[in-house]
Structure formats: C-alpha cells, structure tokens
Chains A and B, each alone.
Chain A
C-alpha cells in the first residue's frame, strides 16, 4: 500500500505526461504481482468494490468527528477521500508497511458486507495520511490524478517490446490482476488471447484559421460539429462466436456500463467514430439535456427512456474484420453510408454532409445552423467540421487533414451575484459563479446563469479575493456578493445559445456559459439588461 500510495501521490503532483509515464513504468517494473496488476486495474477503472460506497465512508467519519465540522471541511477541501484522510486521527504507532494492495483487494472480497465498515476503519487507523488517501481513492473509485486508462496502458508498453496497439489488442480479453499480460510484456510468457473489440485512438482536428481559406474548397467535405461526447462504438464476434460490444470515450475509457441502451443495440461487426447525443422523437437534444443523463449516478430504465442515447456517426474504422483506416475519407464515407442504411433500426444515424462551394457558404452554415441543419438539429450543433476527402484515418492530431470551425459565442455583460466553492482542481476557491443582468422594468438584477470556467488560475485568485472581501451574506457554502449599481464585479459572459426556461426566474437558460473576461473597468450599472438576451431568443 505504501508503494501504491506513493505512486498516486507523485502522479497527483506530476503535471508532465512524460513524467507520469516514467512514474508508472517504474512502478510496474519494481512492484511484484499481483500488486501491480491491482494497481493497473485501479488506474484503468477496472477495479470496483460494489459494497464500498462514499456514504459508508461518510458514516464512518462522522462517528469520530463532529458532523458540522466534517461538512465544513468537506466543503473546503472539495474531495471526500482527501477530507477523510486528513481529518482521520490515526494511531501513528501502528506501521502500515505490512498492508499491501492485494491485502486490501482480498480483504474486501473475503469480508461480509456488514463487517466492511469495521475493516475499513481498522485499515484507516493503520495507514498514514497518504495511505489513507490512497485507500479512500481506491474505495470511492474516483482517482482523479490525471491518468487515463490509455496512459496507463502506454506505460505498460515501456516495460518490454509490446507496442501499445498490441496491448490494446489483448487488453479487453484480460482481467485483473493481469499476471498473464505482465508476463507476456516482460517476455516471460505467451501472448494472451486478443480481445474481440479494442479501442482505436481517434483522429482529432485543428482549429480553422483565416489563412486556411487559401485551401481549395473542392478538396474538402464539411459536416456539422456536434456538441456531444466523442465516442467510439466497437462490436465484433470472437473466435468462439460470442458477441462483444463496447463504447469508448475518446481517451479509451470503457463507458459501456453508462450506456447499456446503446451497447445492447450494437448488432454489427465494426468500429464507428461518432458523437454521443440524446435523441427524443427524432429530435437531437442540446448538450444540456445530455448533461442531465451524464449527471445520473445510476442508469435506470427511467433514465434510459427519459434520455435515450443516440450516436451520430461520422467515420468507420473497420468493418467485418477489415481495417479501413488507410482508405480515404471519401471511400470510408461511402462504406459508412451503406453501413448506416443497413442499420437504420439501431440508435445510430449518419452525420449529414453540408453541401458547399466556397468557404463563404460554410461561413453562412456555421453562423446559421438552424437554416442549414433544420430546427431539429440546431441545439446540438456547435460549428462545422472540415475534412480532406483524400485523408486516411490517422491517430492523434495530424496536421492538414481535419479542422473544426466553431460558432462565435454570444456575449453579455453580467453582474456577479453569488459565489460557491468549487470541487476538484478548484476546491477551496470560490469558483462557481451565479451572475445576473438588470430587469428591463426595474432596477433589479435577475440571475441568468452560472459559470465555473473560462478564467485563468490567476484570475480565479483575484475573483476569490473579491468574493471574500465583498460578502454580503452567507447561506451555507454560498456567499452573496455585493451587487449594487456602483459596487460589484462585472463579467463578460460568453455562451453558445439561449433557451426559454421555466426553471429560471429570468425565463432564459444559457448553453455553455463561461467567463470570457473580467470587466474590472465596468460598474454593475453598465451591465446588460434582460432585453439584450430576450432579443436573441426572438432571433433564433
């Protein structure tokens, strides 16, 4: 446990990708089986303890600590595992060297559910602060140390001669603690059986710039840039004829469990690249709606019927065992169109191409997707994609093949009304802001949205200071910030679109609001009025 805790600790403070890889490789090299395999499972999200829940940890800690003080601490620290690790008073006389990662995995396995809290408490007593943090991270299942499953597998490739593609190939047929995989990579054992469905690193795009308009439009295809989650749908039959299906995020994390409605419908042998969206009655919903499904902790039948998932496909990487990535985009597109037509009953649809002759046409499409895309898709479009007809499918972000051309955001000057402490990276700073604009008929500010990004770390420190020094009142974790006509903080808020909303007092809800600039130079009286926003509603 010491070694694993030290690894997590150092990974958490290592900002460089190469540094993280070196730390991981060194750990895998120096740690014996099965500990390193359990660690790998934890890092790739394959290790879960179904009876260990954050609520149990919380219950354990409030047995030993004043509940209000714990709540205030949690609010400040912003991370359950870390709060408990710091607040827990252990007995330093008990050494933790003897407790290995395998002891923990096997201990949890061998213990009845009702006895688990006592076991965890015993371990927390035996571990030091860092060990407690690592144990709790393991239990709560959210490591959040900036290591993707793919990065962990890349580190494995550093151990021997196997390439990361080879490792991806066997990965999904292997299971923790991966002793056969380690043996193979280190040249001490045979190659484990390949998985039927593996992750292919996706092709990414560059931002379109004005100088790119010198390119010849006829060499390019254009399609909508969907505002969802980039996914890879992979399904195939293995050597024994068993069907396998997976859904991957763009970093290679297996997110199949969150979208059983999709994965069950993957009755094909192909790898597809596309955008995960919510589609209701033929209408593709905005990212806000998708966000509501993503926020659900467990996926119930109700979640699925309320937020039916859908993949808008725009590329095909392989079909029936044939790798299509070396073909041109044009050839792949033809195959993809046939594929989509053949699977019209699946929750999968083809991302349409945008017809254009000159770049100005695309500019118009980008500025007014409603006109081009039709109303049903408007909410989920955030710009256009430009792809070279002749390009093969290349992993990573190769230059000169794919571009994204996002819509210009709308902006409004709004006044900071309330601030709340953030979680994760921004924890303990006031980093979640509710802002408002003036009513048209009264000198009153009405909330129109919330934002928690768009500012730099330095600006965050300045805003945090402003909040602390201009607090009018406190409601639990929320501070009301001074917002008089001549005293207060004005944000230039950028957002992608606006919707009518009965949930908000102002009657509008913003899509993707973020702080574009802090207007230290403006007084709240110079901020915008609600009519500046409602005018946008009429436009669209």
Chain B
C-alpha cells in the first residue's frame, strides 16, 4: 500500500482514510485524534475525540465538559483498532498527556508526533521514538541557531537574579499549559521551596496537573497575596499579562519570559523582556535531527515551523522530506494559550 492511503494532508488537518479520522484538525470534524491539549491542536466542537485521558481532562478544563460529542480515552501503549488500522498513542514529552499517534495498517506504519521535545521534563512522560515508515514532525525550532541549553541553567540564572534583587518581584511569562507547570517543577527541583504565585489564567490547569499527580509545592493565587508578600517573590503569568495593568501590583518587577524564542535577542527585546529564559517544550535543531534518524523513517513530513530548513537537512541525510505547511498551528501556542 502507499503511504498516502494511510495518511494524507487535507485543509482540516492530517487525515487517515481507513480510520476516517483527522489528527489535530483545525475545523470541527466527525472523528478527531488529538495529540495534546494546546488550543491550536485541541479544538472544541468535534463529534468524537480520541486522546489520552490527560489530554481529555485538559480539554474539559479549557472548553467545559461538553467540548465534544463523545470522548474516548486511550492510555499510552494501548492499541485500538478501527477497521484495518491499529492506533497506538506514545508519549511525546511535550506537555502532560501529549502523545504521538502511531497508525499501522498492512505492515506500514506512520507516526504523527504532534509537538514534542527530548529534554527531560518532570511534569510529563518522556518521548519514545517510534520505528516507522513515515514520520510526521513539527519544525518550530528547525534552524541551526536553535540549541536549547539545559533548562536547569536557565532556572539557575533566574534564581541568581532573585538573590541579586531580593526586593524586586520576578514576573515570569509562561504559557498556561505545560510551560508554567514545568517551570514551577524546575524551581522545586532547584531547591526553591517558597510560595510561587500564579496569575488567575494559570490556576485551573496547574490544579489539574496536581490532580494528575504532578507535585508542584506551595502555589498560590496572586489575587490573594498582598504587595509586601510579592517583594522578592516569583510569580508566573501568561506572556501577554506581563505588559498589562495586572502586572502593576508587583514591586518594581523584573520581567522574564520562558520560551525557546528567547534565544533570539531581537525576540526578547520585541517583548520588552529583561530576563530571557531559553526554556522550550519543542525539540531544538540537534534533537529534531536525532529524532528523525532514530525513527528510521525513510520519509518525513513536516507540519509547521521552519519546514524549509528541516527538509533541506533531511535531503542531505538521505531522507525524503515533504513540507506540508499546514495552516492553523501556532508556534509555541503563543496566542491561544495566553488567552486560556
């Protein structure tokens, strides 16, 4: 059989004809398989949704219980057959519940990775490479300038700044799903056990992480803290809140932003960030290459991001590559997650 009989790009998203299902469709469809809970991949309004239990829980927090007609949970590693196709979800290491979708039919396997990373993350299961004939990858940071440093060194930079300015608040912009909780967990790993303050937009998802067994220590709503408690404190908020009146309650805050984009100075300066923290939930350039080689796939499709660069590298590595330029996926969930 041909690969395109198993998987094919359509305007709604990637489509698997034998299962009659779309993966991360950007428009409402009858059957959707959702890789992870970021708003650009997990949209409300599908008739049936198949995803990990954690992703379904995230969607319910974001969109309400009735976010779809029928939700079906599939745990990592369990197999589900629809017609001739076997569907298995494997950890993608991106955020809690994030999964790669392995589709196998007649001995041919396609793996759709969604967004993924290879760096360790205390808040989610690590990425598992899937041996496959077709690997579908993102390319958010697919340029050789993107080499993410270990997240621990970035956290150490912030803690040093906190020691240097003990009277100022450190306001860290972080996406509401995944990044915020990972940053909190990293602070805890670094031995920081003081209360960490949260913007209201981060509370529900952070509480969900804790319900799912991710220990995050003493986290408190900013709303309930008085100004004196915020001096020297670390607070997390959606990136868009850093420049709003909400941030005025903090004493002389230092603004930080945790994102892979912070590797580019101009990006940090564009946002008025004083303390850029290069912490990303996407694979960097070396990890994208490593992952593609580990899957052993002779063909790679690239969904979104810097597809031209990754396709160029694939060709030089003897891997057939196709840039799909799928529309509707944000880089690092920038817009939608800030609003959630």
Contacts and interface: CB of A to CB of B under 8 A. Distances in A.
Interface of A: 12-15, 65-66, 68-70, 72-73, 76-79, 82-83, 86-87, 133, 424-429, 457, 460-461, 465, 468-471, 474
Contacts of A82: 264-266
A428 B266 contact: yes
Contacts of A78: 266
B32 to A, nearest CB: 20
Interface stretch (B174-182, B226-234, B324-332): B324-332
B10 interface: no
B270 interface: yes
Contacts of B147: 86
A426 B270 contact: yes
B224 interface: no
Which of A69, A83, A86, A471 has its CB near the most chain B CB atoms (within 10 A)? A69
25 contacts: A13-B276, A15-B272, A15-B274, A66-B316, A69-B312, A69-B313, A72-B143, A76-B264, A76-B306, A77-B264, A78-B266, A82-B264, A82-B265, A82-B266, A86-B144, A86-B147, A428-B264, A428-B267, A457-B270, A460-B270, A461-B334, A461-B335, A468-B327, A469-B328, A471-B327
Contacts of B334: 461
B269 interface: yes
Contacts of B335: 461, 465
Given A66-B316, A425-B266, A426-B266, A13 B308 contact: no
A425 B270 contact: yes
A213 B146 CA distance: 56
A73 B143 contact: yes
Contacts of B1: none
Contacts of B306: 72, 76
Contacts of B276: 13
Interface string B297-321: 0000000001011001100100000
A457 B268 CA distance: 12
B266 A14 contact: no
B144 A69 contact: yes
4 closest Cβ pairs, A-B complex = A86-B145, A427-B266, A72-B309, A73-B143
Interface of B: 143-147, 261, 263-276, 306, 308-309, 312-313, 316, 325, 327-328, 330, 334-335
Nearest to B145: A86
A461 B270 CA distance: 10
A540 to B, nearest CB: 38
A13 B268 contact: yes
Nearest to A465: B335
Contact of B145 (A77, A425, A461, A474): A77
A460 B271 CA distance: 11
A14 B264 contact: no
Contacts of A457: 270-271
Nearest to B312: A68
A88 to B, nearest CB: 10
A396 B276 CA distance: 34
Nearest to A457: B270
Given A424-B266, A470-B327, 10 more contacts: A12-B265, A13-B275, A15-B274, A72-B312, A73-B143, A76-B143, A77-B266, A461-B335, A469-B328, A471-B327
B241 to A, nearest CB: 13
A13 B274 contact: yes
A65 B264 contact: no
Given A82-B264, A428-B264, A69 B143 contact: yes
Main SS of the interface on chain A? helix
A419 B268 CA distance: 22
Nearest to A462: B335
B328 A13 contact: no
A180 B321 CA distance: 62
A429 B271 CA distance: 12
A460 B334 CA distance: 14
Which of B267, B276, B335 has its CB near the most chain A CB atoms (within 10 A)? B267
A429 B266 CA distance: 10
A73 B309 contact: yes
Contacts of A76: 143, 145, 264, 306
Contacts of B316: 66
Which of B143, B261, B316, B334 has its CB near the most chain A CB atoms (within 10 A)? B143
A69 B265 CA distance: 19
Contact of B308 (A72, A86, A425, A471): A72
Contacts of B146: 86
A469 B327 contact: yes
Contacts of B269: 12-13, 425
A186 B309 CA distance: 53
Nearest to B271: A457
A468 B329 CA distance: 10
Contacts of A86: 144-147, 263-264
B272 to A, nearest CB: 6
Given A12-B269, A76-B306, A77-B266, A65 B144 contact: yes
A86 B271 CA distance: 20
B114 to A, nearest CB: 19
Contacts of A13: 265, 268-269, 273-276
Contacts of A474: 308
Contacts of A79: 265-266
A83 B145 contact: yes
A474 B334 CA distance: 23
A427 B264 contact: yes
A248 to B, nearest CB: 27
A86 B261 CA distance: 13
Contacts of A461: 334-335
A73 B327 contact: no
Which of B143, B265, B313, B334 has its CB near the most chain A CB atoms (within 10 A)? B265
Contacts of B312: 66, 68-69, 72
A301 B144 CA distance: 42
Contacts of A426: 266, 270
A262 to B, nearest CB: 34
Which of B266, B325, B335 has its CB near the most chain A CB atoms (within 10 A)? B266
A428 B330 CA distance: 15
A427 B271 CA distance: 12
A69 B143 CA distance: 7
Nearest to B286: A89
A133 B276 CA distance: 16
A465 B306 CA distance: 14
Which of A72, A427, A461, A474 has its CB near the most chain B CB atoms (within 10 A)? A72
Contacts of B261: 428
Contacts of B273: 13
A78 B306 CA distance: 15
Contacts of B268: 13
Contacts of B330: 465
Which of A77, A78, A133 has its CB near the most chain B CB atoms (within 10 A)? A77
Contacts of B143: 69, 72-73, 76
Contact of A471 (B267, B274, B275, B325): B325
A76 B145 CA distance: 9
Which of A13, A133, A429 has its CB near the most chain B CB atoms (within 10 A)? A13
A79 B144 CA distance: 15
A86 to B, nearest CB: 4
